[in-house]
């Protein structure tokens, strides 16, 4: 798996304004407006920060929105500073949360770091890249350092943040560690001397805290660059591994294609804008010319091709059609032999049901097929022979009954 970045349009390098416009496509917004173009004009090559808190093992398409934009900065010669929040992840980012997160241990976080690193590096170029862990500067802090940091903000300032204010007004608890989080994340910008910081719109408050801390430290203030939040495959909440509504960049092509095909129609414009690297004019043309399934198929092919190539995208589409359109079994599947003939017991032995009663419920609910035929008898038996069992749309197994 390797991210396939499109070439830079030739007109992008014509001026700082043109470069900024390219980097601000698809709803990205800078603060203050015009700040990115001004930074490019004055400083030329920038240090562009993006921080990730590894609280789950995969890199989702939601993270990918900012990571792919960070890759554009690299492509234009700027330095990408990827901050791995191995310290802040132990606290948990309170952004968009209505309750306090469970704190993670250092070992848990390290496991997630190792799970994410390969995918992160598959998106970013090794050229113009710094990978830093914020434990480098946050872990050595002593109480005096923490007091100096916290003295620069008031509780009233923290409660200006929407999620904190809403929880406070609803009498929902807010841990002191959560109030610390924006300051710790903001201090990352001071430590790496960021010129620009990327983040989702839910991170805007944290990015502004970083900007203020830089000014107080005598540094030039970074330009926050916010991206719209990509909704999950449910089309409702933001994409998150904790919600289970995510597409991971390291999933197999068939899995990415299938999940893309499940995206609700109302979420398609956002996925077309944020989930692909097509030029804006091409996105507009496709939205105007294609609708329904045709547009969704094009989106799914583009998403697979971004990380696995065009051939893999075509194969994933063919696999989708074979399983979901023609309802054919895969050419290769797991196989086993058994002397058991009672189908509910076979399903339980395969791990497809938690018990015999669960297996019977699945059969009764028309959820089990044998050689393409839906079983209607919850007490079915099989004669000796070889059969293809199917549960749901994607689960197949070839079993030989002795």
Pick the CATH number of 10-227 from 3.40.50.620, 2.40.40.20, 3.40.190.10, 3.30.470.20: 3.40.50.620
CA pseudo-torsion sign 82, 86, 90, 91:
negative
Fold agreement between 253-325 and 335-401:
no
List pLDDT tens digits, range 3-37: 999 999 999 999 999 999 999 999 999 999 999 99
| pLDDT (0 to 100) of residue 95 | 64
**Helix axes of 280-289 and 292-308: crossing angle, nearest 10 degrees:** 150
List pLDDT tens digits, range 135-179: 999 999 999 999 999 999 999 999 888 888 888 888 888 888 889
**pTM of the entire structure?**
0.83
Q: Does the pLDDT value for residue 99 go beyond 60?
A: no
Q: Say which residues have a Cβ less than 8 Å from residue 196's Cβ, sequence separation at least 6.
A: 36, 39, 46, 47, 48, 49, 73, 222, 223, 224, 225
The architecture that CATH gives domain 253-325 is: Orthogonal Bundle (1.10)
| pLDDT (0 to 100) of residue 2 | 93
- For domain 335-401, the CATH class is alpha beta
Domain layout of the chain by residue ranges: 10-227, 253-325, 335-401
With bands split at pLDDT 50, 70 and 90, how would you rate the model's confidence at 1? confident
Residue 229: name the closest of 204, 248, 210 by CA.
Answer: 204
């Amino acid at each position: 798996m390797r991210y396939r970045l499109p070439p830079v349009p030739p007109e992008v390098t014509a001026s700082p304004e043109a470069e900024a416009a390219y980097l601000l496509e698809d709803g990205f917004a800078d603060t203050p407006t015009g700040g990115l173009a001004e930074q490019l004009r004055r400083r030329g090559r920038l240090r562009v920060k993006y921080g990730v808190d590894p609280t789950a093992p995969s890199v989702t398409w939601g993270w990918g929105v900012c990571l792919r934009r960070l890759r554009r900065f690299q492509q234009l010669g700027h330095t990408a500073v990827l901050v791995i929040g191995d310290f802040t992840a132990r606290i948990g980012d309170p952004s968009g949360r209505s309750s306090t997160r469970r704190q993670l241990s250092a070992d848990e976080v390290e496991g997630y770091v190792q799970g994410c690193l390969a995918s992160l590096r598959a998106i970013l170029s090794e050229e113009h890249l710094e990978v830093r862990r914020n434990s480098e500067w946050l872990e050595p802090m002593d109480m005096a350092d923490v007091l100096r940091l916290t003295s620069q903000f008031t509780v009233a300032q923290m409660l200006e943040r929407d999620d904190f204010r809403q929880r406070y007004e609803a009498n929902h608890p807010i841990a002191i560690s959560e109030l610390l989080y924006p300051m710790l994340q903001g201090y990352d910008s001071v430590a790496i001397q960021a010129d620009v910081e990327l983040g989702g719109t839910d991170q805007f408050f944290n990015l502004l805290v970083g900007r203020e801390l830089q000014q107080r430290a005598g540094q030039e203030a970074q330009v926050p660059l916010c991206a719209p939040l990509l909704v999950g495959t449910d089309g409702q909440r933001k994409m998150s591994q904790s919600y289970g509504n995510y597409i991971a960049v390291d999933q197999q092509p068939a899995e990415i294609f299938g999940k893309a095909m499940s995206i609700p129609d109302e979420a398609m414009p956002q996925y077309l804008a944020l989930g692909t690297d097509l030029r804006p004019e091409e996105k507009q043309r496709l939205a105007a010319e294609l609708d329904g399934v045709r547009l969704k198929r094009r989106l799914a092919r583009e998403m697979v091709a971004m990380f696995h190539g065009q051939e893999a995208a075509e194969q994933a589409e063919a696999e989708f059609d074979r399983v979901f359109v023609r309802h054919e079994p895969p050419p290769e599947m797991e196989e086993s032999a058994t002397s058991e003939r009672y189908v509910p017991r076979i399903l339980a032995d395969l791990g497809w049901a938690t018990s015999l009663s669960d297996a019977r419920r699945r059969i009764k609910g028309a959820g089990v097929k044998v050689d393409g035929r839906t079983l209607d008898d919850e007490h079915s038996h099989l004669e000796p022979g070889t059969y293809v069992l199917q549960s749901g749309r994607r689960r197949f197994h070839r079993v030989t009954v002795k």
